Structure 1
């Protein structure tokens, strides 16, 4: 009973995770490898990890985060789910060049690049360049700004709110991410429109 209460206190809840998990999983079914290790950067509460591990039982899910409370939440959700294909969460700061994982078959990052300094996005692409092999994907989900595409008013308001909270945050331009990808040996291979004016962008190691 005491352990159950402790686990409940550790678990975080992200309402967005409940809303976007199923649509994202439908896209991931087309983009993920058939087997191997999926490294999730900035796993947050851990709810995505549990949902996706159940949806894709042939894959090993490696959640990570830079925040210690998030790591505790991820492991609490994982223990409750009893999913045998979720590894213990590991601490990864995307801005540093050393990650405690030598290889991955896919890297997934949901709703991080706009709620972190741009150095985290640069580190994410650099890490993908180091860890991924040819044709393996880096998959990003979230709101973005695109040249020649009108930005939804809700996304403009969200961008303004983010920048008010932290000037280093904000929606990133897809074209800038494409250039960053190329500089790290990746190429964008897919763009999926998602609910609530979000996108899933897929980059693959060349």
Structure 2
């Protein structure tokens, strides 16, 4: 395989902006938890920018990228090769609307599930699948981390997020910014508890759930 020039890789501007602030939160969460973290599944890896940024900072963790679109895998593999990421696995196909045994082999389990900017640009069935899957494949005390814009108990702020939500719903009636109360209900159904909400740049949040 010929060497990959990092400058040729697809890099989404939003992911470039938010990967640093998210990493700082992950470092704090992982440092404070008493649980040993050995493996990390990213759902909806897209370009692979986040996992490529996180992996060098946590050499003891094995990272598993995934996405519903296999055409993105070439770019993810490009990051793995360009930056010699020995603790990042080959990406695999993961469709949250499929039965859990189809989107994750039953023999696998994880300490962390991480999902960034997915639940608002996918049908509600994907949110259901995400939490059902987390309840199945997270080890006891495992972590589910969701990044993106969220409404809080029926209130969506600021106005830019309201307009973004309207734009999403106009593009696809099944999309839209999700409300924390609905996600908490899914969490409770799957033995997950909301531990913390971190305010992030650009009116986003990082939701921190933990399995009981």
- Any idea what SS the aligned residue of 1:147 has? coil
Deviations 1:124-161 (A, max 9, x none): 10110001122111000000001275511111111111
1:170 aligns with 2:168: no
Question: Which SS does the other structure have where 1:105 is aligned?
Answer: strand
CA distance in 2, matches of 1:150, 1:67: 30
5+ residue gaps, structure 1, are: none
Q: 2:194 aligns with which of 184, 188, 192?
A: 188
Q: Which residue of 2 aligns with 1:100?
A: 104
Among 123, 130, 138, the alignment partner of 2:129 is 123
Whether 1:15 aligns to 2:19 is no
- Which residue of the other structure, out of 81, 90, 93, is the alignment partner of 2:83? 81
Residue deviations 1:36-75 (CA, integer Å, cap 9, x gap): 0100000010011100001222211100001011122111
Aligned to 2:25: 27
Q: CA RMSD in A?
A: 1.9
TM-score, normalised relative to structure 2: 0.90
The residue aligned with 2:46 is: 44
Alignment match of 2:65 (pick from 56, 63, 66):
63
Q: Distance in 2 between matches of 1:198 and 1:161?
A: 17
Matched length: 204
For the Cα contact (< 8 Å) 2:150–2:156, is it kept in 1?
A: no
| Distance in 2 between residues matched to 1:42 and 1:70, nearest whole Å | 10
**TM-fit CA distance, 1:34:** 4.6
Q: Distance in 2 between matches of 1:40 and 1:205?
A: 17
Q: Is the 8 A contact 2:67 2:91 kept in 1?
A: yes
User: Relative to 1, partners in 2 of residues 1:168 and 1:72: Cα closer, same or farther, differing over 3 Å?
Assistant: same
Superposition deviation, residue 100 in structure 1: 3.2
- Where in structure 2 are there 5+ consecutive unaligned residues? none
The residue matched to 1:172 in structure 2 has which SS? coil
So what's the TM-score if we normalise by structure 1?
0.92
- C-alpha distance in 2 between matches for 1:95 and 1:6: 35
C-alpha displacement of 1:8: 6.9
